[in-house]
Amino acid sequence: MKIRILIVEDQKLVRDGLRALLEGQPGMEVVGDRGTAARGWRWLSPFSHPWS
């Protein structure tokens, strides 16, 4: 089973670097990236949350 990761960071250069680093790791999958927390939450909203 892969760990699915959403990167939320306002600096595009940092997001790109994190994506490159994480995509090379076995068992990890970057499913997206967003530049703000609000956009990150909107991206997650269609998915069920274990804490809700």
Give me the helices (H) in the chain, please: 12-23, 37-44
What pLDDT does residue 34 have? 96
What pLDDT score does 18 carry? 97
Does the CA dihedral 4-40-43-35 come out positive or negative?
Answer: negative
Domain ranges within the chain, ordered by starting residue: 3-44
Q: Which two tokens stand for residue 14?
A: 């940092």
Strand pairing class (3-8; 28-34): parallel
Residue 22 vs residues 27, 30, 42: alpha-carbon distances, Å: 10, 7, 22
| Predicted local distance difference test score (pLDDT) of residue 39 | 93
pLDDT surpassing 60 at residue 10: yes
Where does the pLDDT of residue 1 fall: very low under 50, low under 70, confident under 90, or very high at 90 and above?
confident
- For the stretch 15-43, pLDDT in tens is 999 999 999 999 999 999 999 999 998 88
- For residues 24 and 49, which has the higher predicted lDDT (pLDDT)? 24
